[in-house]
Amino acid sequence: MNTAAYDAYIGVDISDVAIEKAIRRTTENHRTDKNHYFQGDILSCVPKGLYDVILFGDSIYYFRSQRVAETLTRYSKYLKQDGVLIVRSWVTHHRSRAIVRNIERDFDVVEKHLYHESQIVVIVLQPPAGRRAALVEGAHP
């Protein structure tokens, strides 16, 4: 991503090794002023503040289907008013396809793109309008 396209990025991963790798890459790319990383479990992390974008990069298929829905709903409370969730996932297996179908049922799909001979999906999501309205009315955490 063009460095001018964003102000700040916070990356979370449960693996120390993944975090170390991301920090190394960020240093090489001279982005240490914008990119910050924390070791943590997506299922229990509590974001600080509200975000324009919350991205789940190839991570949702590590969780049980039921946890995916709960997790995306929980994180959607940390979006700014017009903020979006982005889910990137391989859809080569029945399980990940079923997870993506459930997400599409539970959220408004703003954009959807397929890559790599349709083996990877990137979906841009917003909570359904009713839930968005509730957040605007002050239900933010």
> Which positions lie near ligand SAM, rule CB under 6 A?
12-15, 18, 41-43, 57-59, 62
CB 126 to ligand SAM: min, Å: 21
| Strand 108-115 relative to strand 51-57, pairing | unpaired
Nearer to ligand SAM, 18 or 124 (CB): 18
DSSP per position, 25-59: HHHHTT-TTTEEEEE--TTT---SS-EEEEEEES-
Minimum separation from the CB atom of position 107 to ligand SAM (A): 19
Closest distance of CB 13 from ligand SAM, Å:
4
Closest distance to ligand SAM from the beta carbon of 58 (Å): 4
Alpha carbon separation from 26 to 23, 57, 83, 115, 131 (Å, rounded): 5, 17, 25, 25, 35
Residue 84's DSSP bridge partners are 53
Nearer to ligand SAM, 3 or 81 (CB): 3
Toward ligand SAM, which CB reaches closer, 21 or 101? 21
